[in-house]
Structure 1
Amino acid sequence: MTQNHEFTLRPAISFAVLKTAHLMLLSLVFLFLAWYASAYLIFFSIGCIIAGWCKLLVIRSNRYLIGKDRIRSSRGILFKRMDELEMYRIKDYIITQPPLLQLFGLMNVILKSTDLETPTLKLMGIPSSDLIDTIRKRVQIARQNNRIYEIN
């Protein structure tokens, strides 16, 4: 990751597919049952496919713009929501990598902050990288620039 430039992250397509795989599998089950039991079950199969595609699009619509002074998070397709988190407010970083995410080289990052509106910011399903080191450096620079000192 670069120190001086803004960059955008979004959940990987493999993460979105993992999160919607159960709906796609359920649609195949309903399709199989429609073949053998009742043709009306095909409507459940179509419903599961539509729900899976909608969930996939919602997951992929998440964007995280990491700048020098703040992190902007946007999500949503029809109803968009944008949140900003100032770098100097970030207190803690948590990286989680369940086995499936490790298999695909992905990670979940949780940023804990002192912001009342956004106490935690979750960056889900992003590619594994040195993101935490970049954010940590930017947090230290933002605190120095704003003359913010932490007292425990």
Structure 2
Amino acid sequence: MNQEKIATKPNLKKRIGAGLIDYSLMFGMTLVMFLYFGEKTSTGYGLHGFPALANTLMWCAYMIGFELKFGGTLGNLVFDLQVISIKDSNTTSLTLGQSFKRHLLDMLDLWFFGLLGILLIKNTKYNQRLGDIWAKTIVIDSKDSTQFCKRFV
């Protein structure tokens, strides 16, 4: 029978800093796409066709790809944060589905300057935001030995 021992902390300052780095990069990439490929519409500018698809693919490559390859986005890595799986298995590595679920709910977690995400991080058992709860993941400080997820068989 698998048994888990999980210890986390909110790491709010680090998580907010990581989020600022990640979404500044995403905003910058999107701004470049609008500047070079945006089309003027009656309500402002829009991306259509391949540029809109490319923007979505860049988001996936950065947010999901970095997590799968390195255990976190660039922002997470700068602040020594690691995203790990707490699903029933023998590994703490993320799956594609888990990373996708985490980031699919980013807009809800970031709603009203991140208020929902912050409230959930401060008030859930494993300091998870909505995306983490759905994906069965946690975020730990990889330099803090008091934060971990260990499995015993």
Note whether the superposition's TM-score is higher than 0.5. no
Higher helix share: 2
Structure number with the bigger relative contact order (C-alpha 8 A, sep ≥ 6) is 2
Structure 1 or 2, whichever has the larger Rg, is 1
Higher strand share: 1
